[in-house]
Structure formats: structure tokens, C-alpha cells
Amino acid sequence: MHFTRDNIELFLAVLDHGSFSAAARALRRVPSAVSMAVANMEAELGYALFDRSRREPVPTDRALALAPHVRAAQDQLTQLHNHALALSRGLESRLTIGIVTDVNPQALLRAVNLLSRRYPLLEVEMIQAPQDDILHLLQQQHISLALAWGGLRVDSQWQFQWVDDEALVATLAADHPLLAKKAAPRWLEDLIQVRQIVVASRSRPLADARAKVATSCWYADSFAMALEMVRAGLGWGNFPQTLIAERLARGELVRLRFGNTENALRLPVHLVWNKAQPLGQGARELVALMRGGE
């Protein structure tokens, strides 16, 4: 008989309901069916699972020892079944997500964690790369969803969902000469003469005209690279707050505050996907989770 699904269900029903009759009621069977099935299991195993000396069967030590393992097996089977059915409802069997290097992945990871509870057998793969590479992977359909900087170009190829705004803060290396002169810039205009490190690349032009302030600009294609340049004292730059929080705290960097730009630059973070590649169920629910729905 070999521990088939039915036997597992039956055995656990007897344990949970305390008697063959109750189990039979729960399973919509007749008591004798349960009785015979249990007797068959016992015959196969070679030992008693229940002691029938009292009116209601009391589980043997062995049955009790077996119970948690049987339950685990049942859980795995129902999980498998749910997953197989979910596949038919459009769940992808593997969800590959791209994350742009500079974007804070915390919220996404929280959402993925929730998703993994809903679909325990769903495989998730995370790919971290610069924005250009992520978009390329998305275009090639190697990833189905990406967390990326948004608002960059309107392109009918992409579909997206706003997720968050990263506040950009103007930052300077703590040992930059501008600070040493005890004349820390008070107004944004004070920075016009100081070289600015701007994040932009061929394929990704400046998002916001406001982003470029200084007359002399050097360019980097990621915040990570730009950050290195700023730390090396090559200039100042605007960075997502979360990206530089630690360095600010450690005193490596200094945040510049201005009297006239209280409303900081904000860079939108989007979940992006390819119109040509319809989202799977997991990706759809992930988007919903990130939108805050549920």
C-alpha cells in the first residue's frame, strides 16, 4: 500500500478526530472503510498504529512518533498540488527580477518575502546590474520584472508601476577643500562653480533639468561610481539618501543643505516590465504587493 496520499490523509484524520468514526465523518466515508484502511496499513507495516482496547482507538507510541513526519509529507504533497494548479492559473515557475545597482532593494525584498509565503515553491532569481544592463535584459526577456529608476524615457515598449521616490541629497566628501575654508555653501548657487558629478549615461539622459547645476560636470553611469568619485574629492553630487546614509553617519561624506531648495530632487523608482512579455501570476502579485495593495 506504500503510504499513498489517501492513507496519509486517513491516518491524520483519525489522529485529529480521535476515532475511526469521527474520521469517517470528516472524510465522508463509512466507518468500516476507515477501519479497514487502518487495518491494511497496520498489516503492511507490521505493527499496530492504534490500541483498540478502549472504546476509542488510542494511537500507539509508534503512531505518535510517525505523525509529525506523516504530516510533513502531507504538507509537501498539498504544496506540490497547489503549485501545480497555480502553474495552470498562470504562475511562472521561475521569477527573475532585475534590480538596478543603485536602487534600494528593501521594499522589494519585503514584498518578495510575502510572495514566497503565498507560493512556497516559486523559484526567484535576483539579478543586480546597472540600469542600462537591466533594461537590456528586460528587452531580451531574460528577466520579467525590474526595479529601476523611472521617468527616464517614455517608450511604448515598457510598462511600469511607480513604487517609491528616492530623495536625492547634495553630498560632498568630508575632506573637500570647500568645507575646509569654513565657508560651507549655504545656497545652491554656491555650488555652480564647483565641479559636479552627474549620473547619466548615453542611453539614459538626465532625468531632470534641475539635476545639473554646476557649470563643470563630470559624468558617471551609476551612483556607485559617482559616489566613489565624490569620495575621492573630485566634486559634489546628488545621491539617494538611503545609499549614503551610512557614509554620512560615519562622517566620510557631508550632506549639503541649502536655504533655497527645501523640496529636494526626487528620483522615482519604478517596477518595469516588457509589454511584449506578459507578466506571470507571481510577477503580477508582486506588483500589487509593491503598490501596497494587500
What are the helix and strand counts (H, E) for the chain?
A: 10, 11
Contact partner, 121, from DNA, its own copies, none, Cβ < 5-8 Å per class: its own copies
Enumerate residues 6+ apart whose C-beta is below 8 A from 280. 90, 91, 92, 95, 144
Contact partner, 72, from its own copies, DNA, none, Cβ < 5-8 Å per class: its own copies
- CA dist 127 → 17, 137, 147, 151 (Å): 48, 10, 10, 21
For residue 39, state whether it binds its own copies (rule: CB under 8 A).
no
For residue 12, state whether it binds its own copies (rule: CB under 8 A).
no
Contact partner, 62, from its own copies, DNA, none, Cβ < 5-8 Å per class: its own copies
Choose, by CB under 8 A, the member of 52, 62, 186, 257 that binds its own copies: 62
CA-wise closest residue to 60 among 77, 41, 74:
41
Choose, by CB under 8 A, the member of 72, 114, 232, 276 that binds its own copies: 72
Choose, by CB under 8 A, the member of 33, 45, 107, 225 that binds its own copies: 45
Site string for DNA, 17-46 (x = CB under 7 A): --xxxx-x---xxxxxx-xxxxxx------
Q: Which region among 76-84, 182-190, 220-228, 279-287 touches its own copies (by CB under 8 A)?
A: 76-84
Choose, by CB under 8 A, the member of 88, 156, 260, 263 that binds its own copies: 88
Length of the chain counted residue by residue: 294
Looking at residue 136, its amino acid is: H
Rounded to 5°, the CA angle 247-220-152 comes to 100
b/e 73-101 (16+ beta carbons within 10 angstroms → b)? eeeeeeeeeeeeebbeeebbeebbbbbbb
- State whether the Cα torsion 227-232-237-240 is positive or negative: positive
CA distance 217 to 149: 21
* Alpha-carbon 87 to chain mean position: 20
Looking at residue 229, its amino acid is: M
For residue 259, state whether it binds its own copies (rule: CB under 8 A).
no
Return the number of the residue (38 or 122) whose C-beta is nearest DNA. Answer: 38
Contact partner, 28, from its own copies, DNA, none, Cβ < 5-8 Å per class: DNA
Contact partner, 212, from its own copies, DNA, none, Cβ < 5-8 Å per class: none
For residue 22, state whether it binds its own copies (rule: CB under 8 A).
no
Contact partner, 61, from its own copies, DNA, none, Cβ < 5-8 Å per class: its own copies
CA-wise closest residue to 150 among 3, 54, 270:
270
Interface with DNA (CB under 7 A): 1, 4, 6, 19-22, 24, 28-33, 35-40, 52-57
Interface with its own copies (CB under 8 A): 2-6, 45-47, 61-62, 65-66, 69-70, 72-73, 76-77, 79-81, 83-85, 87-88, 93-94, 121, 123
